[in-house]
């Protein structure tokens, strides 16, 4: 999370700093309208910069994963930027539209306009920008309304995923409209200064990202076709295990990574953690899916052996490679999936770590527990299964009691975010270094 906070601070701080080198939030004389003029420029710069970076992150950039600890963390940054855009854009809109309302209500008196610049004294580009101001303001206002709506829908977890995926894609259209709005209305003098160079680079790259999104080409070079070989449903857990044979082109994956799978084009791609180790001689991949939403609840009925699907990836840095000889794994509920993949890998290629795996679960499904026990035995992993009703809740004290040398270990957690955050805080309070607690943030919206 530290890398994310630094990245978020840089995305906001760099354009803010460059803007402050070009302008000031304390114009002289300092009046409501003089402040409004500079704040509109400042907030507009921040909003379009953040939105541009968010557009680039939506491309699922593989090169950025090692720097931000995986695509799950990149999506968390994408979400933070979306919220930041929402806040700054609303402030920007209010100072623009709210001021007009207050003038109309008689609460404010607009000062007399000074003489407009003579187009004859301006360059062709600056004069053209001036002629487009009215159109840019109207386009920006309506694009703002659309962007606010789509971002708000993305933050509502109850909004169906298939509708979220489609409406979220439409943000790209709103973004392109806001780029036009920004190019025309940014103070012309900025373009010859570092803040203008940064904005030009971000909006150019963001516009390309928007076009890639609108043409549905995100991840196109990382997709391979696959055919469902088998399906196994664990009724007690409401979990479906799918085994897929992949066609040529899959680069291989590390245990703990995930992939986007498309079984219905109308539904779009969904992310699932990979529950199998990779063997090039047997190009198969396994996913374990719990019925948590409208789409996953239908998978048991819609997926059939022999069906062709698209698999994109792999993504993620939850790969257990931290150089520690002692590891503690915690897979809560369906969060057990990456650990299943790692154990299958260790069963073939013994690793140097000594490992304890804790699996708290609300439901005891004997067939699933038997498979997990067999995987742990083959991998040389010490397994602790805790069923909530009979064993109580897992917490830091229970883990430390079961693993006396926990202080020398790294901890790998996958499961409900609130549970992971509580365990992280507990172990940090007992002296565990922050970089030794690895947590999968498997929330894509």
Assess whether pLDDT exceeds 70 at residue 6: yes
Per-residue confidence (pLDDT) for residue 79, from 0 to 100: 93
- The whole-number pLDDT of residue 444 equals 61
User: What percent of the chain has pLDDT above 70?
Assistant: 96
Q: Measured on CA atoms in the order 294, 295, 296, 298, is the torsion positive or negative?
A: positive
141-150, 152-161, 163-172, 212-221: the lowest-pLDDT one = 152-161
pLDDT band at 1 (very low <50, low <70, confident <90, very high): low
Per-residue pLDDT band for 442 (boundaries 50, 70, 90) equals low
Q: What domains, with CATH codes, occur in the chain?
A: 2-214 (1.20.120), 220-315 (2.40.30.10), 326-439 (3.40.50.80)
Q: What is the pLDDT of residues 162-186, one digit of tens each?
A: 778 778 889 999 999 999 999 999 9
Mean pLDDT for all residues in the chain: 91
153 has pLDDT over 90: no
Query: What Rg value do the Cα atoms of the chain yield, rounded?
Result: 26
The pTM assigned to this predicted structure is 0.89
Confidence band for 445, pLDDT divided at 50, 70 and 90: low
The pLDDT tens digits for 87-119 are 999 999 999 999 999 999 999 888 877 666 666
Q: What is the pLDDT of residues 198-256, one digit of tens each?
A: 999 999 999 999 999 999 899 999 999 999 999 988 877 788 889 999 999 999 999 88
pLDDT exceeds 90 at position 129: no
Give the tens place of pLDDT for each residue, 261-304. 998 887 788 888 898 989 888 899 999 887 666 677 788 888 99
Q: What is the pLDDT of residues 311-338, one digit of tens each?
A: 999 999 998 988 899 999 999 988 999 9
* pLDDT > 80? residue 192: yes
Is residue 189 predicted with pLDDT exceeding 80? yes
Query: What is the per-residue pLDDT for 429?
Result: 96
**pLDDT for res 121:** 64
- Residue-level pLDDT at 115: 66
pLDDT, one tens digit per residue, over 405-427 is 999 999 999 999 899 999 999 99
* pLDDT at residue number 114: 65
Top-confidence residue, 120 or 98: 98
């Amino acid at each position: 999370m530290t890398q994310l906070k630094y990245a978020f601070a840089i995305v906001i701080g760099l354009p803010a700093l460059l803007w402050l080198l070009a302008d000031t939030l304390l114009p002289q004389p300092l009046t409501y309208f003089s402040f409004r003029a500079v704040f509109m420029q400042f907030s507009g710069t921040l909003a379009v910069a953040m939105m541009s970076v968010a557009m680039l992150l939506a491309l699922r950039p593989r090169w950025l994963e090692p720097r931000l600890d995986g695509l799950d963390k990149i999506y968390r940054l994408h979400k933070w930027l979306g919220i930041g855009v929402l806040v700054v854009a609303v402030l920007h809109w209010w100072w623009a539209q709210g001021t007009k309302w207050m003038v109309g209500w008689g609460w404010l008196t607009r000062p007399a306009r000074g003489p407009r610049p003579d187009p004859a004294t301006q360059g062709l580009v600056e004069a053209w920008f001036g002629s487009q101001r009215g159109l840019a303001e109207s386009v920006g206002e309506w694009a703002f309304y659309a962007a606010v709506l789509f971002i708000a829908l993305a933050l509502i977890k109850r909004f169906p995923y298939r509708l979220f995926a489609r409406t979220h894609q439409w943000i790209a259209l709103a973004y392109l409209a806001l780029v036009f709005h920004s190019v025309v209305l940014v103070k012309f003098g900025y373009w010859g200064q570092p803040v203008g160079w940064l904005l030009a680079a971000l909006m150019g790259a963001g516009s390309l990202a928007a076009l890639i999104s609108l043409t549905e080409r995100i991840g196109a070079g990382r997709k391979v076709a696959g055919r469902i070989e088998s399906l196994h449903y664990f009724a007690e857990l409401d979990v479906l295990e799918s085994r897929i044979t992949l066609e040529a082109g899959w680069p291989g994956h590390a245990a703990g990574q995930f992939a986007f799978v498309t079984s219905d084009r109308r539904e779009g791609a969904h992310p699932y953690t990979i529950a199998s180790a990779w063997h090039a001689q047997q190009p198969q991949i396994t996913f374990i899916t719990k019925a948590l939403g409208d789409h996953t609840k239908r998978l048991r009925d819609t997926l059939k052996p022999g069906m062709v699907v698209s698999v994109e990836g792999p993504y993620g840095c939850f790969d257990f490679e931290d150089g520690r000889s002692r590891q503690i794994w915690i897979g809560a509920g369906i969060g057990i999936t990456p650990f299943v993949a790692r154990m299958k890998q260790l069963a073939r290629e013994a690793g140097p770590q000594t490992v304890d795996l804790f699996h708290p679960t609300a439901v005891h499904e004997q067939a699933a527990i038997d498979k997990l026990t067999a995987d742990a035995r083959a991998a040389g992993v010490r397994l602790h299964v805790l069923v909530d009703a009979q064993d109580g809740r897992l917490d830091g004290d229970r883990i430390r009691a079961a693993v006396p040398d926990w202080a020398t270990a790294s901890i790998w957690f996958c499961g409900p975010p609130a549970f992971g955050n509580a365990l992280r805080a507990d172990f940090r309070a007992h002296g565990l270094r922050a970089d030794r607690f690895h947590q999968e943030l498997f929330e894509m919206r």
